[in-house]
């Protein structure tokens, strides 16, 4: 479900109208998160580390209202819930787009997510799994411990979906750290909201 935002009475009205004019309204930040406990938990449960931290990231995104705003024409909508549209790597070096519903229970999410991963890995081509706006675009680059990241963009295509990417986890002393990039439409999301997402993501990774 989604509800329209009354832009004229929205506290973000001026910010939205200002950044909406930009050819490139997205901004991006890169941070590192501590995934030590998350990695240990995923191994103890015998589940995919990728699906484990993906669930935590999706839960964090749903907890921050700004990550559930989407632009449709001249209107802004707030979705009740957003789901995951991650890229899934294949054995031949290509990738495909997947779709995973958000389930608050991580066991349900992992079970359904594993089925979707296996489905994508047995296909070819690059057909979007779901064209809905109420998703987060996720990607994983487990080969690179990046410190910056940009995305391919078609400026003729009006996009307001946040994009979150994960890099290679590496040891720093006794901690396992992983880079994360967050790109979002500045008319909907500010650095403050990105900070709220990272804070909540880190909290969820630690339990």
Euclidean distance between CA atoms 31 and 199, whole angstroms: 11
- What share of the chain has pLDDT > 70, as a percent? 98
Condensed to tens digits (0 to 9), the pLDDT of residues 6-21 reads: 999 999 999 999 999 9
> CB neighbours of 173 closer than 8 A, spacing ≥ 6?
none
Structure tokens belonging to residue 110? 């992992």
Q: Indicate the pLDDT class of residue 25, thresholds 50, 70 and 90.
A: very high
Q: Indicate the pLDDT class of residue 129, thresholds 50, 70 and 90.
A: low
Is residue 83 a contact partner of residue 134, using CB atoms and an 8 Å limit? yes
Give mean pLDDT, residues 91-118.
96
Q: Indicate the pLDDT class of residue 131, thresholds 50, 70 and 90.
A: low
**Which domains does the chain show, CATH number per domain?**
2-205 (3.30.559.10)
Whether residue 123 has pLDDT greater than 70: yes
- Weakest-pLDDT range from 18-32, 60-74, 103-117, 153-167: 153-167
Euclidean distance between CA atoms 179 and 63, whole angstroms: 21
Query: 81: burial class by Cβ within 10 Å (0-12, 13-18, 19+)?
Result: middle
Which pLDDT value is given to residue 158?
Answer: 87
Average pLDDT, the chain: 96
Let me know the angle formed at the C-alpha of 150 by 145 and 152, rounded to the nearest 5 degrees: 130
Which pLDDT value is given to residue 157?
Answer: 85
Condensed to tens digits (0 to 9), the pLDDT of residues 144-197 reads: 999 999 999 888 888 999 999 999 999 999 999 999 999 999 999 999 999 999
Give mean pLDDT, residues 71-93.
96
Per the DSSP assignment, residues forming a β-bridge with 116 are none
User: In terms of Cα–Cα distance, which of 135, 119, 123, 151 is closest to 57?
Assistant: 135
pTM: predicted TM-score of the whole model, two decimal places: 0.96
Strand 83-89 with 26-34, pairing: unpaired
Structure tokens belonging to residue 13? 């009205």
Is residue 154 a contact partner of residue 167, using CB atoms and an 8 Å limit? no
């Amino acid at each position: 479900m989604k509800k329209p935002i009354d832009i004229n009475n929205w506290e973000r009205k001026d910010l939205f109208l200002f950044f909406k004019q930009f050819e490139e309204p997205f901004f991006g930040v890169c941070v590192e998160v501590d995934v030590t406990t998350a990695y240990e938990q995923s191994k103890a449960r015998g589940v995919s580390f990728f699906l484990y931290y993906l669930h935590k990231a999706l839960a964090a995104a749903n907890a921050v209202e700004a990550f559930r705003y989407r632009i449709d024409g001249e209107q802004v909508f707030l979705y009740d819930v957003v789901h995951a549209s991650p890229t899934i790597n294949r054995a031949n070096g290509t990738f495909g787009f997947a779709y995973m519903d958000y389930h608050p229970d991580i066991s349900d999410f992992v079970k359904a997510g594993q089925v979707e991963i296996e489905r994508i890995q047995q296909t070819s081509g690059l057909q979007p799994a779901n064209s809905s706006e109420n998703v987060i675009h996720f990607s994983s680059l487990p080969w690179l411990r990046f410190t910056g990241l940009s995305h391919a963009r078609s400026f003729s295509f009006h996009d307001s979906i946040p994009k979150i990417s994960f890099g290679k986890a590496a040891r720093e002393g006794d901690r396992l750290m992983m880079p994360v990039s967050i790109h979002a439409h500045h008319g909907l999301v500010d650095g403050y909201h990105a900070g709220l997402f990272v804070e909540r993501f880190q909290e969820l990774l630690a339990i």
